Amino acid sequence: MRRKDWQDGFKIIFLVMLGYIPLGLACGILLFDSGFSIPALVLISLVVFAGAAQFMAASMMVRGATASTFIIMVFFLNLRHLLMSSSLANFLIKVPFLLF
């Protein structure tokens, strides 16, 4: 992809990215109040893809859920991404593997 393509894409998603800042702050505050440490907050933000799973982690932590329960629930919550991406398969067949 050309530099111009990246710049055009960034202009389109910039406002969406700004919208995630308050959600990230709210989730961080909620997780911290639920008993997560600052390093754990950073780790969960880097490892857990679904923002909904991060909010779910706070709820489960308050209720005393085990780590294995949390991992299983995150798996099922993230399963929706697999299902949504599989619906795009027919459209992506036409896209070349190498975009550069």
pLDDT of residue 16: 87
Q: Is residue 88 part of a domain?
A: yes
Q: Is residue 48 part of a domain?
A: yes
Q: Is the pLDDT at 36 greater than 70, yes or no?
A: yes
Domain region containing 57? 3-92
Q: Is the pLDDT at 31 greater than 60, yes or no?
A: yes
Q: Is residue 51 part of a domain?
A: yes
Read off the pLDDT band of 41 (50, 70, 90): confident
Instruction: Report the number of distinct structural domains present in the chain.
Output: 1
pLDDT of residue 39: 93
- Distance, CA of 67 to CA of 61 (rounded, Å): 9
pLDDT of residue 99: 58
Asked if residue 48 lies in contact with residue 58, where contact means CB atoms within 8 angstroms, the answer is no
